[in-house]
Structure 1
């Protein structure tokens, strides 16, 4: 199965097209990724660098002596991770236009996992459109809640 997916940053300045062979993705919990994203983990899709076409080039941050990360300097969206000497790279699952097709298959950086954040299925759920203070702000500024 070969499938073409698109994605990019929040503001739309950086866009990409990726050709994937499967829907496998993973969660990285390493401290470098936690610090780079400000989250307890980051979801990645690993694929050959040749399968990624940057429609508009991202900015790059050399996050360590052995790795770098693409991002958008305008809006701050983290877009991935790569070792420059590897033929593979990761794209952030959340930056795909339809991330729902990608499914987690494993955890990486397990030594830094925050177990309390893994299974949140029992927590109360609030839909964006049901949170009136947010809905009110959007309607006052732009007349509607964004998609």
Structure 2
């Protein structure tokens, strides 16, 4: 099992090492909720996801539910019973080892921020330097 947690550690979880699918989502809903240009997701059976701690749920769309830590605000899970019945999407970056699950696709690219296409062309620094 893989382990993960929110920023403050109040919510911890375990999930299977194998996901049903894993992808990077570029939709506006994911961007606005995370404050990031895209979000990595791994879909698992809800019954295989073990969660320790209290979650807050936000209805982000007609069928979508985003779950996050009520203390630090870290987004952790996405549920949509219409699209993913009995399944939960887990934010890959909240895993203790985010390299354990590698996205295999990009979705909602029609909503992708244009400059994201050029990330590999930008100057890169291994650490922030003032």
TM-score interval w.r.t. the shorter chain?
0.7 to 0.9
Shift of 1:43: 0.6
Taking only aligned residues, the RMSD between alpha carbons, in angstroms, comes to: 1.9
- 1:63-142 correspondence runs (5 A): 63-84=60-81, 86-128=85-127, 131=129, 133=130
8 Å CA contact 1:23–1:103 kept in 2: the answer is no
What are structure 1's unaligned runs of at least 5 residues? 134-147
Bigger radius of gyration among the two: 1
Higher relative contact order (CA 8 A, sep 6+): 2
- Number of residues of Structure 1 aligned to a counterpart in Structure 2: 128
2:54 matched residue in structure 1: 57
What are structure 2's unaligned runs of at least 5 residues? none
1:7 and 2:4 correspond: yes
Q: TM-score, normalised by structure 2?
A: 0.87
Per the alignment, do residues 119 and 70 of structure 1 end up closer, same or farther by CA in structure 2, a change over 3 Å counting? Answer: same
Q: TM-score, normalised by structure 1?
A: 0.78
Per the alignment, do residues 122 and 110 of structure 1 end up closer, same or farther by CA in structure 2, a change over 3 Å counting? Answer: closer
